[in-house]
């Protein structure tokens, strides 16, 4: 009396194949994202190592700058003040000369430390995050284009 719909018994066959194909595609997509996350983690670890080395070197140069500043100020002030005073120079000039020399040495050490700290900016990691984990194009807001 009631006839079954045509193809009702045949519809069950192709569905599992389609479901397996969708599942395989989802697994491939998940594996690609996991691979991208692992690559980003390796990049981050490499930049942490670079930043650590740069920070250690920068701290060494900052320590050197402090030692040089203190030593130069103390020794040059004493030496030059005594020499300039014995030559008849006024007190302000006798104090200003060693102070300027100390400031120059401090400026050179601070310039070198700042140059080393440029390596601690995680540029590669930030660039990859801006591009996205999948490595796609940058969003229009970051490139300055209209959406």
The pTM of the full predicted model, rounded to 2 decimals, is: 0.39
Among 142, 139, 124, 137, which Cα is nearest to 40's?
124
pLDDT at site 147: 43
Domain ranges of the chain: 16-135
Q: On the CB side of 101, how many CA atoms lie within 13 Å of its CA?
A: 18
Write down the H helix ranges in 87-147.
Answer: 91-117, 123-131, 140-143
Bigger pLDDT: 37 or 81?
37
Q: What is the mean pLDDT of the chain?
A: 79
Q: What percent of the chain has pLDDT over 70?
A: 79
Q: Would you state the pLDDT for residue 95?
A: 81
Please give the structure tokens belonging to residue 4.
């079954």
pLDDT at position 111: 94
Q: Does the pLDDT of residue 10 top 60, yes or no?
A: no
Render pLDDT for 46-87 as a digit per residue (tens, 0 to 9).
888 888 888 899 999 999 998 887 887 787 778 778 998 899
């Amino acid at each position: 009396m009631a006839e079954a719909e045509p193809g009702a018994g045949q519809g069950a066959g192709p569905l599992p194949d389609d479901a397996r194909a969708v599942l395989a595609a989802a697994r491939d997509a998940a594996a690609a994202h996991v691979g991208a996350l692992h690559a980003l983690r390796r990049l981050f670890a490499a930049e942490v190592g670079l930043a650590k080395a740069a920070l250690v070197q920068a701290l060494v140069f900052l320590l050197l700058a402090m030692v040089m500043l203190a030593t130069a100020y103390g020794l040059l002030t004493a030496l030059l003040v005594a020499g300039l005073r014995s030559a008849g120079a006024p007190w302000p000039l006798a104090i200003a000369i060693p102070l300027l020399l100390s400031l120059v040495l401090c400026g050179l050490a601070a310039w070198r430390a700042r140059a080393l700290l440029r390596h601690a900016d995680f540029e590669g990691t930030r660039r990859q995050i801006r591009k996205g984990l999948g490595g796609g194009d940058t969003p229009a807001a970051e490139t300055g284009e209209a959406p």
